Structure 1
Amino acid sequence: MPDYVERTAYYAEAPLALVIGCGGLGTSIARALGRRHALLIVDLDGGRLAQTVATLTHDGYTVAGHRCDITDPAQTKALGEVLAKSPGIRALAHVAAVGMSIGDWRKMMAVDLVGAHLVAEAAGPHMVSGGAAVFISSLASYLPARDAKLEALLAEPQRQGFLTALADLHGKEPDFDWTYNYAKLGVNMLAERLAVEWGPRQVRAVSLSPGMIDSPMARAEGPTLPSHDGTETRVSRGDKAREIPLGRQGSMIEITNVVDFLVSDGASFLNGIDIPVDGGHRAAWRAKGVIDR
């Protein structure tokens, strides 16, 4: 019998979709973007990455993987060198993030904020005209009060002494909840800055802030969430979901659908903003005075 010859998609030589992180949400987004673009998926976990690439390839996607620690400048520089040999990037979805399960607030900040900056530096020069980047943030990004000193600090997370300065401003080393809040505020600020920097090249950048979403990462963080009532108490995920005007948490496909729209030509004049996808949770927080953003 003749050897099987794999089909090559017509778009294989066109600008690609770069997806950073192949956890539950990252894979869901890759499946959506892969309908129109060749995929390059980046992840730290080589085994998980290989399995994801194999599964998507079997399903008919045009996909490659690249193992990278996004907190390592040398490795993100190497990623940039790979991208320089590609036909360019039409869609960037930066999904990679960690929660308290990583066990060290410094490592969390490195992945969730510094990593986003390093990826932007690596990918930015290779974004093509008409391209768009979506940085997955969080509704938690709205929790820090407005503070010019904090925002100036979060704008430069790679500067020497950043973590010490952040702890000093916070009054002590931040716990995992506050580390996440600060990191995601920094991600929103990064997208806004990139919108200005990349705009003249006709490249857009936005952030997307999911609210309560049923995802593998969310489930790994445990059954409770901060109460956000000014105390240190925590409440069940069910009680937290009841704060949402729609009365439920969201699904990964509800986030994926918005990402798919944001990188499309249908969103061609959306740039430099954060889009909460939260069932109205932010609106409820603002009505109760929990946030001022």
Structure 2
Amino acid sequence: MSRFENKTVIVTGASSGIGAATAKRFGREGANVVLVSRSEDKLKRVASNIPNAKVVAADVGNKEDAKRVIDEAQSAFGSVDVLVNNAGVVTTGTIDEVDEDGWDTVINTDLTGVFHMTKAAWPALKASKGNVVNTSSVSGTGGDWGMFAYNAAKGGVTNMTRALALDAATSGVRVNAVNPSLTRSELTDGMFDNDDLMKKFTDRIPLGRAAEPEDIADVIAFLASDDARFVNGVNLPVDGGLSASNGQPNQA
């Protein structure tokens, strides 16, 4: 398929995990891909497998960096057609354990970073009638034990997605989000090494496994494509059926 030929796609958090898989997926479909993260070396490794790629080392939590990403994308490829806001970090701990620095770290990247990137890209997206796909989380639709800062950030992304879709009603820009459950990545590798913990997760997921990055990337590509042209303001669970449950344990 070449659904994104001659289109420019920006993917933040593209150095690993969902972001890397997403950048590669768009590349396979003919897109010009702008890969963004703070790690230039990791970005270059991912970009080496993408025919039309540009690497931009930047911190999405910094307003000037976000503007620079958009400027460099337009300079390299002439337009911005899709923005994938995927950059994210996790701060764990209860309110007793998380200090101001920990709170600021996750909010600045996971929530304010989405604002900075979307704000900077908005004029270009209106010009191209493009769209935004945010990576939220099932943690943005319900609480987790010991992750209140991450829950707050992803909850903000979830509802920002809805509100932006309303505000964009007359602009032709669509805004959607994916809400993954546990997905293999650098952030979660330690969890995958814990067999007891993984069993607790997989027992709750009807499909019986955690997600691979490609599982999420494929859905992001769908939401960004013309196949989803009438999909707007949606937070789409990509969770193997986890959200279908009311929380009661499996008694089968």
Name the TM-score class by shorter chain: 0.7 to 0.9
What's 2:119 paired with?
Answer: 121
Q: Which runs of 5+ in 2 are unaligned?
A: 93-100
* 1:252-277 alpha-carbon deviations (Å, 9 max, x no partner): 11111111111111100000110001
Q: Rg larger in 1 or in 2?
A: 1
- AA matched with 2:7: P
Task: Tell me the SS of whatever aligns to 1:250.
Answer: coil
Q: How many residues align?
A: 235
Tell me what 1:160 maps to.
none
Aligned-partner Cα distance in 1 for 2:207–2:176: 25
Aligned ranges for residues 69-148 of structure 1 at < 5 Å? 69-85=59-75, 86-100=77-91, 104-127=102-125, 128-144=127-143
- Does residue 17 in structure 1 map to residue 9 in structure 2? yes
Q: Matches of 1:18 and 1:263 in 2, distance apart? A: 11
Which of 192, 209, 212 is the matching residue for 2:179? 209
- Which residue pairs with 2:95 in the alignment? none
Q: Deviations over 1:92-122 (max 9, x none)?
A: 2111101238x82321111111111111111
The question of 1:46 aligning with 2:46 is answered no
Matches within 5 A, 1:111-190: 111-127=109-125, 128-144=127-143, 177-190=147-160
- Give the partner amino acid of 1:65: V
CA distance in 2: counterparts of 1:213 and 1:84, whole angstroms: 32
Which residue number in structure 1 is paired with residue 189 of structure 2? Answer: 219
Deviations 1:10-59 (A, max 9, x none): x88x3301111121211110111112211111111122123322x225xx
**CA contact under 8 A between 1:32 and 1:256: conserved in structure 2?**
yes
Is 1:37 the counterpart of 2:46? The answer is no
Structure 1 equivalent of residue 240 of structure 2: 279
CA spacing shift, 1:74–1:181, aligned 2, 3 Å = same
Q: Secondary structure at the match of 2:204?
A: coil
Determine the C-alpha separation between the residues in 1 that align with 2:161 and 2:241: 22
TM-score after normalising by structure 1: 0.72
Runs of 5+ consecutive residues of structure 1 not aligned to the other structure: 1-10, 146-174, 225-234
Moved over 6 A (4+): none
* Pairwise CA distance, 1:70: 0.9
1:254 to 204, 215, 221: 215
Letter in 1 for 2:62: D
Residue range with higher mean Cα deviation, 113-122 or 41-50: 41-50
User: Can you list the C-alpha shifts for 1:112-159, whole angstroms capped at 9, x where unaligned?
Assistant: 1111111111111111444221100110111159xxxxxxxxxxxxxx
Deviations 1:212-271 (A, max 9, x none): 2222222156767xxxxxxxxxx7122122111222212211111111111111100000
Q: CA RMSD in A?
A: 2.7
1:67, CA displacement in angstroms?
1.2
- Displacement of 1:83: 4.1
Work out the percentage of aligned pairs sharing the same amino acid: 25
What amino acid sits opposite 2:68 in the alignment?
A
What is the deviation of 1:177?
0.7
TM-score, normalising length from structure 2?
0.83
Q: Which letter maps to 1:68? A: A
Q: Distance in 2 between matches of 1:221 and 1:96?
A: 20
Contact 1:15 1:87 in 2 (8 A): no
Tell me the CA shift for residue 189 of structure 1: 1.4
